[in-house]
Amino acid sequence: MDINLIVNGAAYSRQSAYTALKFAEQACDQGHSISQVFFYRDGVSQGNFLAMTLADEFNAVEAWVAFARDHDVKLVVCVSAAERRGIINQQQQAEFGKPSANLHPAFAVEGLGAMHDASLSANRTVTFR
């Protein structure tokens, strides 16, 4: 089955990212495919690769990047939600003259159309708040 995820909870502040990732890994282990993980609202903070955690703590951005690499999953942050929260890639940094970029390059920056595309084509859509 093809499943897409919508993740709205902030990195570190909420368990949401961890729950979503564990779900996604288990779905793949069972032979399902995760077509896209769309990060919306505070969920966009999970693309921030400047986030630092202690060695024995869950690091959302590293965990998502490893998961996406292993299972060929598309990670997407919502452009408007991410810009408002200061999560931008190098292209946006250059375009808007910001001092730094912080979005991990494994994450794509797309609009809410991407969330709808994935939700309309997938067999199941699972939202993590």
Partner 1 sequence: MVGKKKLLYVFEDGPYSGSAGIEALDAVLIGASFEQEISLLFLNDGVFQLNAGQSANSQPTGLKQYTNAFKALSDFDVHQIFVHDLSLIARGLSQKELLIDTRLLDSPKVAQLIAQQDKVFTF
Partner 2 sequence: MSALITITESLFNRPSLYEQLAFASNGDSILLIQDAVLGLQSPIALASFLAKCDVQGIGVFALQEDCDLRGIDNQYNTISLVDYAGFVALVVGNEKQIAW
Catalog residues that contact partner 2 under the rule CB under 8 A: 1, 3, 15-16, 19, 22-23, 25-27, 29-30, 32, 124-129
Q: How many CA atoms lie within 13 A of 7 on its CB side?
A: 32
In the structure encoding, which two tokens stand for residue 66, read together? 């490893």
Q: Per the residue annotation, which of 78, 79, 81, 118 is the catalytic one?
A: 78
- In this structure, the number of other CB atoms found within 10 A of the CB of residue 108 comes to 16
Q: Please, is 101 exposed, middle or buried when counting C-beta atoms within 10 Å of its C-beta (0-12, 13-18, 19+)?
A: middle
Least distance from partner 2 to the Cβ atom of residue 12, Å = 15
Whether residue 28 lies in the annotated active site: no
Binding site for partner 1 (CB under 8 A): 6, 40-41, 80-81, 111-113, 115-116, 119-120, 125, 127, 129
Q: Which is nearer to partner 2, 70 or 95 (CB)?
A: 70
* Residues known to be catalytic: 78
